[in-house]
A and B are shown apart, each in its own frame.
Chain A
Amino acid sequence: MSEIFNSLWPEYDPGRFFCELTAKRPDAGPVPQMLAERLGRIGLADLRARADAAQNDLIDLGITFTVYSDATAIDRILPFDCIPRVLTAPEWDLLERACKQRVAALNAFLGDIYTKGRVVKDGVIPGELVYKNSNYRPEMQDFPVPYGTYAHICGIDIIRDETGDFRVLEDNARTPSGVSYVIENRHLMLRAFPDLMAGIKLRPVDDYGRRLRAAMAEVAPARGGDDPQVVLLSPGIYNSAYFEHVFLAREMGVPLVVGADLVVEDDRVFMRTTAGLKPVHTIYRRLNDDFLDPLVFRPDSMLGVPGLIGAWRAGNVAIANAVGTGVADDKAVYAYMPRIIKYYLGEEPLIKNVDTHICREAQGLKYTLENLDKLVTKPVGESGGYGITIGPRASKEELEASRAAILADPGNWISQPMIGLSVGPTLAEEGIGPRHLDLRPFIVTGKESWVLPGGLSRVAMKRGSLIVNSSQGGGSKDTWVLAENFAAEGGAA
């Protein structure tokens, strides 16, 4: 494989990083080679022309997210790279099992801390991290949810290190976004690059909406009957992820509502229709906890529904994800996830965390301060790549600022070794160059968990950059999960 690729693009050099296309993977069978040959046949000029046309397509279709800066709001597309990322069948098998394991542990943890709190009493995790966590919601205490599912929709950020081992970087158990791109990227590839995909058997991605709707129906209260009314609650057209809300509402075939469409009467939730009030049974909300119900949380929230939490606690409506899941995907709790998995499931994590030093623990703090220039330091409460210092790339001043911030509040910090994220060949200014990637699989859980094959492969479009977040200029790739297990068949098919 790599020989063919090298002969086509001799300047391509992944360096010390694991390359998702050229690394030796017998279980990938002939696919990487086919892909390389096909890319070669299409040629750089045509690849660029088709990629441009595909991006224009996204603009015409308004498949955009909104970036707010100062007084302006600009609709931007998520940059799309046309060279897919390939996962083999055995790799996917591991990822799928690991994601289910992780979600099972997250839900068990949430169910525990909001009832008996055994995990704290047994000393697995400091109580302070749970009960003083800004995302802990006392309103949830002793309120059981159907099937013990709190995090109905989860996105787990997974990276691949220099040796090709997968590692979990972060859990997203609140309102993870990006799944629409997984499906739109596939559609885009099918339109623009059918010749790249022809004959390669891939796991399909278009079942997400049906699965999600089924899960939402499973957790609906009994009064919803066998066809409960599901709605998607969005903050509205000015939210940066509005396109995704539209996408999910359409794929599920349910109304997209905003707070003003819903009303609570006698602890029951209704939507305002042309024919009067219609009962609502499950709300897939894409609104943060804080905004859900001005009677319980932020009183100034115009986006939520007064009385919603009361209706929920009365058992008349299901809310997904449940309130208060943020305590489980916090970076401080993340560090304890290996222990949490073991505690509830009696299993080792199928995919390990990135080694994490917990600055609230003396040992972790000492190690972090002594190795600041080698470590990545992260505040535990932030998301979207904010507040991170990458030691090996930071200036002296930046390192000192980071040291001061950690010393001022050690409990707010963790540190991790700098992981050399895997790379994938990506259409770039210089031709086809290596760019760093991560992977966010999406897990839907009602009664049971289901994992969308593949997930969102985010790619740092800037050369050498490790930051893949869309808010910081990241793009995405189509993620192929090979349906055929070439390892089991002993090589090329």
Chain B
Amino acid sequence: MSTQMRDPGLLARDAEGLFWMARYLERVENMARLIDVTQSFESPGFEADAWWGLIKINADEARFKERGFSADAAHIKRFYLLDRGNPTSVPASLEEARTNARTLRPLISTEMWRQINVFHRFVSRIGPEDLEGDALSRLCTKLKDGVQAHTGITEGTLYRDQGWYFYELGRLVERADQTTRMLDIKYTGLLPRGGREEKRMAELTQWNAVLRAAAVYHAFKRRARATFSPEDVVQFLLRDSSSPRSVLLCVRRIELHLDDLRRYYGLAAAGPLEQVEMLREFLLEKSLSHILATGLHEYLDLVQIQLQNLAGAIGCAFFRDWRPEPMAPQAQAQTMA
């Protein structure tokens, strides 16, 4: 290149903002997916059990009680779709996403800002009537549409300098975490009722619902043997190398992005790279049958903890604990070229 462009750098605060904006938006989409799935789990007479599962997989038991709700389907829906005071609710996540977007206005595209702004207004107008009957499923579709529109606009308009990497990191960390939570839906204490064959059928229905929630139902069907077992579903969601929501795929992409940040932007990424390598190893080292035998829930818990550690390491390396090393602006400019 003959023209000299400057490396504008990236404020640590903006990097953190991009990371979290992406996380919060991903969270909204996944919440919509989980709510949709939960509704399909509902079996007449046991609705409350199904919805309580949602509270459990989000580890929201204490918070839910604090907010003074009773453990029935209607209140749990409100807790996640209407209650701004609940930090894991859709309106609260979107509020955070928009606040971050506002902070990031100088960096994100006008189209991104407009869409988040308009989507935020839509979410802030969700009312109790949107949670009733068939309206709920439509609402979930609209929430998914909103985040997917955001994702598409971002793909087409966000400038791909290091800011984009931090945006991607946030999204992938959140997505991996959410996929473990979807898998964990099996650990909701909701045991199918009836005889053995009935149970088997009910279980299949549940796994199908999880696959649908993770948007891989058809892909799984194409890949799976005719007589697939729950093990195959777990394997697919945890370790498939092509599913956009598989934990392993997310982790691998995180690793690639961190490596790019180190290589092309000269960032000190050793801490988070170490964490992500550990996580990748952890995901691959044990056989599925071993994981299922020792307890999927416990295993997923460990994955979630490692994801938290990874997010912490990213924060330390780039957002907060950024104590400067001697800078070499020339060297950096060269790697940019």
A contact residues vs B (CB 8 Å cutoff): 60-62, 227, 236-237, 242-243, 246, 249-250, 253, 255-258, 260-261, 270-278
- Contact residues in A for B56 (Cβ distance below 8 Å): none
Q: CB of B332 within 8 A of chain A?
A: yes
B contacts with A, residue count (CB < 8 A): 33
Measured in the bound complex, the distance between the Cα atoms of B105 and A271 in whole Å is 18
CB-based nearest A residue for B16? A274
Q: Which residues of B contact A258 (CB under 8 A)?
A: 13
Partner of B10, one of A62, A237, A274: A274
Q: Any chain A CB within 8 A of the CB of B229? A: no
Measured between beta carbons, the chain B residues less than 8 angstroms from A261 are 11-13
Contact call A61/B106, Cβ cutoff below 8 A: no
Partner of A272, one of B11, B110, B261: B11
A-contacting 9-mer, from B67-75, B247-255, B317-325: B317-325
State in angstroms the CA–CA spacing of A212 and B25 once bound together: 35
In the bound complex, residues from chain A placing their C-beta under 8 Å from that of B113 are 61-62
The interface centre, meaning the residue of B15, B162, B261, B327 with most chain A CB atoms within 10 A of its CB, is B327
Complex: chain A residue closest to B98, CB-CB: A62
A237-B102 contact in complex given A61-B113, A61-B114, C-beta closer than 8 Å: yes
> Is B45 an interface position by the 8 A CB rule?
no
From A236, A275, A276, name the one whose CB has the most chain B CB atoms within 10 angstroms.
A275
Convert B83-111 into 0s and 1s, putting 1 for each residue whose CB lies closer than 8 angstroms to a CB of A: 00000000000000001001101100010
Measured CB to CB, the closest approach of chain A to B128, in angstroms, equals 23
A277 near B324 with CB under 8 A, answer: yes
**Among A61, A242, A271, which residue has its beta carbon within 8 angstroms of that of B117?**
A61
Beyond A261-B11, A274-B318, list 18 extra A-B contacts (CB 8 Å).
A60-B117, A61-B114, A62-B105, A237-B99, A243-B105, A246-B105, A250-B106, A255-B14, A258-B13, A260-B13, A261-B13, A270-B324, A271-B11, A272-B322, A273-B10, A273-B11, A274-B162, A274-B322
Residues on the A chain within 8 Å of B106, using CB: 246, 249-250, 255-256
Pair A278/B9 contact, Cβ less than 8 Å: yes
In the assembled complex, B266 has its CB within 8 A of some CB on chain A: yes
Check if B117 sits within 8 Å of A273, measured CB to CB.
no
**A275 near B265: Cβ-Cβ < 8 Å:** yes
Closest residue to A276 on the B side, CB-wise? Answer: B324
Q: Tell me, yes or no, whether B6 is within 8 Å of chain A by CB.
A: yes
Name the B residues within 8 Å of A242 (CB-CB).
102
A61 to B110, CA, bound (A): 7
Q: Are B117 and A275 in contact (CB under 8 A)?
A: no
**Do A274 and B118 touch across chains, with their CB atoms under 8 A apart?**
no
25 intermolecular pairs with C-beta atoms under 8 Å apart: A60-B117, A62-B113, A237-B102, A237-B103, A242-B102, A253-B8, A255-B9, A255-B11, A255-B14, A257-B11, A261-B11, A270-B324, A271-B11, A273-B10, A273-B12, A274-B10, A274-B166, A274-B267, A275-B9, A275-B327, A275-B332, A276-B322, A277-B324, A278-B9, A278-B327
Are A272 and B117 closer than 8 Å at their CB atoms?
A: no
A60-B114, A62-B117 known; A273 vs B9 contact (CB < 8 Å): yes
Instruction: A16 to B261: give the CA distance in the assembly, Å.
Output: 67
Given contacts A246-B106, A249-B106, A271-B11, contact A277 B327 (CB under 8 A): yes
10 closest Cβ pairs, A-B complex: A276-B324, A246-B105, A277-B324, A273-B9, A249-B106, A256-B106, A274-B318, A272-B12, A274-B15, A274-B10
B111's nearest neighbour on chain A, judged by CB, is A61
> Measured between alpha carbons, how far is A243 from B117 in the docked complex, in Å?
14
Q: How far is the CB of B132 from chain A (nearest CB, A)?
A: 29
Q: Which residues of B contact A256 (CB under 8 A)?
A: 105-106
Q: Is the CB of B325 within 8 A of A276?
A: yes
Q: Which of A62, A242, A256, A257 has the most CB of B within 10 A?
A: A62
A492 to chain B, nearest CB (A): 40
Output the least CB separation between A242 and chain B (Å).
8
Separation of A243 and B113 alpha carbons in the complex (Å): 12
**Chain A residue with the shortest CB-CB distance to B166:** A274
Nearest Cβ on chain B to A239's Cβ, whole angstroms = 11
**Cβ–Cβ < 8 Å partners of A274 in chain B:** 9-12, 15, 162, 166, 261, 265, 267, 318-319, 322
CB of B28, distance to nearest CB on chain A (Å): 19
Complex: A277 Cα to B110 Cα, angstroms: 28
Instruction: Please state if B8 and A255 are interface contacts (CB–CB under 8 Å).
Output: yes
Q: Which residues of chain B are near A276, meaning CB under 8 Å?
A: 322-325, 327
Q: Which residue of B lies closest to A272 (CB)?
A: B12
Would you call A272 and B13 a contact (CB within 8 A)? yes
**Chain B, range 156-187, C-beta contacts under 8 Å to A:** 162, 166
- 0/1 string, B269-312, CB within 8 A of A gives 1: 00000000000000000000000000000000000000000000
Q: Which residues of chain A are within 8 angstroms of B117 by Cβ–Cβ distance?
A: 60-62
Identify which of residues 1-59 in chain B touch chain A, using a CB-to-CB cut-off of 8 Å.
6, 8-15
Contact B267 A275, beta carbon cutoff 8 Å: yes
Chain A residues with CB under 8 A of B12:
261, 272-274
Which residues of B have CB within 8 Å of A60? 114, 117-118
How long is the Cα–Cα vector from A104 to B114 in the complex, in angstroms?
Answer: 41
* A274, B169: Cα distance in complex, Å: 14
Residues of the B chain whose Cβ atoms lie less than 8 Å from the Cβ of A227: 6
CB distance from B24 to the nearest CB of A (A): 16
CA distance A255 to B267 in the complex (A): 19
A260–B103 alpha-carbon span in the complex (Å): 13
Bound state CA distance, A154 and B9, in angstroms?
30
In the complex the two chains form, what is the Cα distance from A253 to B166 in whole Å? 20
- The residue on A at minimum CB distance from B12 is A272
Which residue of chain B has its CB nearest to the CB of A273?
B9
> What is the minimal beta-carbon distance from A208 to any residue of chain B, in angstroms?
16
A237 to B96, CA, bound (A): 13
Provide the residues of chain A in CB contact with B332, threshold 8 Å.
275
Chain B residues near A253 (CB, 8 Å)? 8
Which A residue sits closest to B162, measured CB to CB? A274
Give Cα A274–Cα B14 distance, bound, in whole angstroms: 9
B10: chain A residues within 8 A (beta carbon) = 273-275
* Closest A residue by C-beta to B324: A276
Most buried by B among A237, A253, A260: A237
Partner of B102, one of A62, A270, A277: A62
Instruction: Find the A residue at minimum CB distance from B319.
Output: A274
Contacts of B6 in A (CB 8 A): 227
Which residue of chain A is the closest to B118 with respect to CB atoms?
A60
Q: How far is the CA of A267 from the CA of B21 in the complex (A)?
A: 35
Chain B neighbourhood of A257, CB < 8 A = 11
Complexed CA–CA distance, A250 and B104 (Å): 11
| Cα–Cα, bound, A242→B8 (Å) | 21
Q: B261 CB to closest chain A CB, in angstroms?
A: 8
Residues of A contacting B267 with CB < 8 Å? 274-275
Chain B residues lying within 8 Å of A277, measured Cβ to Cβ, are 324, 327
Report the separation of the CA atoms of residues A170 and B174 in the bound assembly, to the nearest whole angstrom: 53
| Chain A residues with CB below 8 A from B118, complex form | 60
- Looking at B8, B99, B261, which has the most chain A CB atoms within 10 Å of its CB? B8
In angstroms, Cα B13 to Cα A61, docked, is 23
Smallest beta-carbon distance B131→chain A, Å: 26
Q: Using an 8 Å CB-CB cutoff, how does the interface string of B227-269 with A read, 1 for contact, 0 for none?
A: 0000000000000000000000000000000000100011100
Distance between B117 CB and nearest chain A CB, rounded to angstroms: 5
